[in-house]
Amino acid sequence: MPENRFSALFAEADAAFNGTYKSELDKLTGLSKSEIDAITPGTEDLRVYSVLIKVVEQASKENLSQADLIQNIKDLGTVAVKIAKKIPQFAALL
């Protein structure tokens, strides 16, 4: 693909989606709106879900340790923890 103004964004996305937490990120992005709404209905959960995905993407891209990622998820609050627990690999650690 030729270089363009979005090349850096594609490279970042590739790094995140092919990084350390690829499997978890795939499962997290695969959660349905109804699965998320079952945790806490309303718009707050979708906002937290969006931030949670960004946190996992960043951790994957940077090869962050599991302990650091789990702490970052906990720092997002109880809604983020509940959403993350939908992913078996995270549920075992949270």
CA–CA distance, 76 with 58 (Å, rounded to integer) = 14
**Averaged over 50-69, what is the pLDDT?**
91
Q: Provide the pLDDT for residue 16.
A: 64
The answer to whether residue 64 scores a pLDDT higher than 70 is yes
DSSP secondary structure code for residue 93 in this structure = T
How does residue 7 score in pLDDT terms, banded at 50, 70 and 90? confident
**Averaged over 64-76, what is the pLDDT?**
94
pLDDT averaged over every residue in the chain = 85
How does residue 71 score in pLDDT terms, banded at 50, 70 and 90? very high
CA–CA distance, 93 with 35 (Å, rounded to integer) = 20
**Averaged over 17-34, what is the pLDDT?**
84
Residue from 16, 11, 50, 12 nearest 33 by CA: 50
